[in-house]
Amino acid sequence: MQTTDNYVSVLFGSLLQPIVDLFDLMEQKGPTGPNDVQAPRDENGYSVSIAVLVALVIESACNRVRYVLGDADRKSAVQTLTDLSAGGLADDVEELFVLRDAIAHNHIWEATVAGDDTKGLALISATLRAGYGDDKFNRTVDLQTRQTRRLQLDVFPNRIHRKTAIVAIQKCAEVLRFLENKDTKFVSIEPNVVWRSQLVGFYNWANGL
């Protein structure tokens, strides 16, 4: 006799290993960090990919929360975390989604740069073109530094680098741990990932970066 079980299409658990693998690939390239204008292409490419996946993990986990709570309203991940009294963590997540938008919509900045014997490139000025950004961008981004105010995440797309990826990963782990502590129906146990042939807990791996 065939038995049936309930199944819910939640992705976040499937996205953690790809984040770890991308980080490992970036490390193998020997990331050196950015100059005033840009990070090395490999480092930038891996970092922006990780940042986008982190946003997808958080979105997926928060959708799971609303499913468990029976909340059918259309809410953002930030609103979901705010409803759970996440406080400053919700504010941090808002900045991660600002970063995601800067990447996914490829915000266009017009910049004046100069060659520099020490830095490679020096930034003289940069202006975000009209039509990019939204209310949360305006709330969270310092246009002079081109970074978010709380986490200092670079939103100038080509300058996103290893440190940005690490902050995003660690905040992702913090969100999942927060949800697990709130209710194990949201996130049941610390997810395991494979890091250089070793099985490790995702939170421990993230915190050790």
- Per-residue pLDDT reduced to its tens digit, 161-188: 999 999 999 999 999 999 999 999 999 9
Interval 48-79: pLDDT, tens: 999 999 999 999 999 999 999 999 999 999 99
Q: Which long-range contacts (CB under 8 A, 24 or more apart) does 2-11 make?
A: 8/64, 8/67, 10/60, 10/61, 10/63, 10/64, 10/67, 11/56, 11/60
Quote the pLDDT of residue 192.
96
| Residue 105: closest CA among 170, 157, 66 | 157
If you average pLDDT over every residue of the chain, what do you get? 95
Per-residue buried b or exposed e for 20-34, using 16+ beta carbons within 10 Å of the residue's own CB: bebbeebeeeebeeb
- In this predicted structure, what is the pLDDT of residue 115? 87
Residue 119 has pLDDT above 80, yes or no: no
Query: What is the value of pTM for the model shown?
Result: 0.95
Question: What does residue 157 show for φ and ψ, rounded to 5 degrees?
Answer: -50, -40
Kindly tell me if the per-residue pLDDT of 120 is higher than 90. no
pLDDT of residue 87: 87
**Percent of the chain surpassing pLDDT 90:** 90
Sign of the C-alpha dihedral computed for residues 162, 163, 164 and 166 taken in this order: positive
- Check pLDDT > 80 for residue 116: no
How much is the pLDDT for 4? 85
Residues 156, 109: Cα–Cα separation, whole Å = 7
The predicted pLDDT at position 24 comes to: 98
Residue 111 phi, psi dihedral angles, 5° rounding: -125, 150
DSSP code of residue 112: E
- Name the nearest CA neighbour of 172 among 10, 16, 9: 16
3-class secondary structure, 76: coil
* H or E stretch at 142: strand 141-142
pLDDT score recorded for residue 187: 94
pLDDT digits (tens, 9 = 90+) for 19-28: 999 999 999 9
